[in-house]
Amino acid sequence: MEYTVRKLARIAGISPRTVRYYDEVGLLKPARINSSGYRIYGPKEVDRLQQILFYRELDFPIEKIKEIIDSPEFDEIKALISHREHLINKRKQLDVLIENVEKTIKYKERGAYMTDKEKFEGFKKDIIKDNEKKYGKEIREKYGDDTVDAVNNKILKMSKEQYEEFESLNLLILDTLKAAMETGDPAGELAQKACELHKKWLSLTWEKYSPKAHAGLAQMYVDDERFAGYYDQVKPGMAKFFRDAIFIYTGIDSQTDK
């Protein structure tokens, strides 16, 4: 089936201006121009637009999307599987937030008082439950039940202020890593600052910090596609860049230092 700009925009849920813009920047060219001068899009262009919109949903810039989907190594099936994983994770995060809001509404409607600890208790438990479901098996096999249980216990005991610091550090790490990747140097000042922040972040939940464990976790960020996806959705290649930076920071290469 073929579509004009207006019809394609309607089924995609975007504006005709956006479709035309994608053509102007070379991201989505029409299959042909008909005798009346209208841009005409076919099945191939519809599939490409779907990929573009998936990446836009993940906040990828236009230039990066074009680079990815124009690459000879681009695999549409693998890309769709990756999109699905990201969207499932996003949905789970939203489900946790919705449940927390619903609990708060329930308490407010009943006129009950909620302490800060009560407000965050269910939220923290849901985070632990979600992490266990996604990563529990691998983490427990690598570090043992006692270590993982101790981490979960520290999360449950976090105060509101401690949890806010935990979340703020995580965002600061990602922002610092993005800036560090622009330098292309995992040994550089920004990359090593990200590693220092990561150590501080880990220390909020780990009973005892270990450079070897830090390096081992960094390798898992690359080896496990779910961890890699978390970082690479921020900036492609971030997981490997972070792994290399942490190896330098700790002085340990988990591939050779056992």
Q: How far apart are CA 204 and CA 214, in angstroms?
A: 13
pLDDT above 90 covers a percentage of the chain that reads 44
Supply the pLDDT for residue 156. Answer: 79
CATH number of 158-258: 1.10.490.50
What's the whole-number mean pLDDT along residues 7-36? 94
The domain at 5-69 falls in which architecture? Orthogonal Bundle (1.10)
Locate 150 and state its tokens: 């101790």
Residue position matching structure tokens 């309607």: 10
* Strand ranges inside 26-92, DSSP E: 32-33, 39-40
Average pLDDT, rounded, for the chain: 85
Residue pLDDT, tens place only, 217-237: 999 899 888 888 889 988 999
Residue 256's pLDDT band, with cuts at 50, 70 and 90, is very low
Supply the pLDDT for residue 7. Answer: 95
Spatial contact of 123 and 102, defined as CB atoms under 8 Å apart? no
pLDDT above 70 covers a percentage of the chain that reads 89
Minimal CA–CA distance to 220: which of 144, 152, 138, 145? 138
At a CB cut-off of 8 Å and minimum separation 6, what does 79 contact? 51, 54, 68, 69
Neighbours of 46 (CB within 10 A): 17
| Residue 17 vs residues 9, 57, 258: alpha-carbon distances, Å | 9, 18, 56
Residue pLDDT, tens place only, 63-120: 889 988 898 888 878 887 877 887 787 787 778 778 777 776 766 665 555 565 566 6
* Strand ranges inside 73-212, DSSP E: none
Domain boundaries, the chain: 5-69, 75-143, 158-258
Q: How far apart are CA 90 and CA 98, in angstroms?
A: 12
Helix (H, G, I), strand (E, B), or coil: what is residue 95? helix
- pTM of the predicted structure, to 2 decimals: 0.50
158-258 matches 5-69 in CATH topology:
no
Residue pLDDT, tens place only, 130-164: 777 766 777 787 777 887 888 888 877 877 788 88
Sign of CA dihedral 135, 141, 142, 146: positive
Q: How far apart are CA 20 and CA 6, in angstroms?
A: 10
